[in-house]
Structure 1
Amino acid sequence: MSDPLSGDAGDAAARVDRMVAEAKQKAQRYQAMQAAVGQVSVTETGKDGLVTVTVDSAGNVTDLRITDQVRECSGAQVAAAVLTTLRRAQARLPDRLGEVMAETIGDDRQTMDTIVGNYRARFPEPEPEEPDPGEDRNVRNLGGIEEESAPKPSPVRRPPGDSDDGDDGFGQSFMTRG
């Protein structure tokens, strides 16, 4: 690798000027990215249309709309709808921010991947929604194990006369302990 300042003094000065100009352009692109990212918002509407949530680029709620259908729901249903919709909106932030960053600093893949990765870690995809209580409960997930039918582990039982005397049998086979 050659030294950018070696060689003719006129060439070195031109290279330094070019490097300074490139650094200024890069700084301007990053400032534009920062401003564009600050304007990002994501709006998500719940599957039943009950709730609409808007979040800003930091994942904070900036708007929350709840329809009059809320009168037909329990508090738990409303809370679940709000939280689920909020998480779905936040989970869309990394992709939206990636789009904005590609438009402004598209040539800096490492920075984009780092920032988008941090957002994905902070706002992961939400868990799949639980079925509504009104849905058909006779449908089964083939290959899955229903929680209530899963076998329960049996309790550990000690042989008669075996007490916990503080000897943990370290270094001994549990089969020969006596």
Structure 2
Amino acid sequence: MWADDAALDAADRRLDEWETSLAEQASRATTLSTRLRAITGTATSPDGAVEVTVDSNGLLADLRLDERIRQQSATRTARQITDTTRVAHADLLKRLTGTTVEILGAGDPTGQAIIDSYRRRLDPTEDEPHARR
């Protein structure tokens, strides 16, 4: 009879540990979600004429153009905006990666899946070996 009580106690402890683990995982997931939604990426063109901020989805959140752009072609301005947006995406990915690793840990498979998902969305050339960088 004693062995059955000991086994029952061990099973209760395992269930308690499992429940605690699930609660901790849920808490980390909520924290991560909240923090990731608040992250932005920002970049400024080398000459300072263009500043781009993207939101946590990589969408344009803010665009600031210096008056100096009036002295250059629209084509050059468009290229600067595009190039600076790519750099802002890289900044966003760096920040998202840091936050994910901070909260979930570097070896966490869920964290790596989240980072990989953002990487695919923010750098579509990642899968194109011959794409221009």
Other structure's SS at 2:53 match? strand
Contact 2:53 2:88 in 1 (8 A): yes
Contact 1:45 1:51 in 2 (8 A): yes
Unaligned runs of 5+ in 2: 1-5, 126-130
TM-score of the two chains, using structure 2 as the length reference:
0.83
Alignment RMSD (CA, Å): 1.8
TM-score of the two chains, using structure 1 as the length reference:
0.63
Q: Does 1:24 align with 2:23?
A: yes
Q: Which residue of 1 aligns with 2:60?
A: 61
Q: Which residue of 2 aligns with 1:11?
A: 10
Contact 1:38 1:57 in 2 (8 A): yes
Other structure's SS at 1:8 match? helix
What pairs with 1:127-138 in structure 2 (closer than 5 Å)?
A: 127-128=132-133
Number of equivalences: 122
Higher helix share: 2
Other structure's SS at 2:13 match? helix
What pairs with 1:8-157 in structure 2 (closer than 5 Å)?
A: 8-106=7-105, 109-124=108-123, 127-128=132-133
Residue type of the alignment partner of 1:90:
H
Other structure's SS at 1:64 match? strand
**d(CA) in 2 for partners of 1:30, 1:23:** 10
Unaligned runs of 5+ in 1: 1-6, 129-178
Q: Which residue of 2 aligns with 1:4?
A: none
Q: Runs (4+) of structure 1 moved beyond 3 Å?
A: 125-128
Other structure's SS at 2:42 match? strand
What's the offset of the Cα at 1:77? 1.0
Which fold has the larger relative contact order, with Cα–Cα distance below 8 Å and residues 6 or more apart in sequence?
Answer: 2
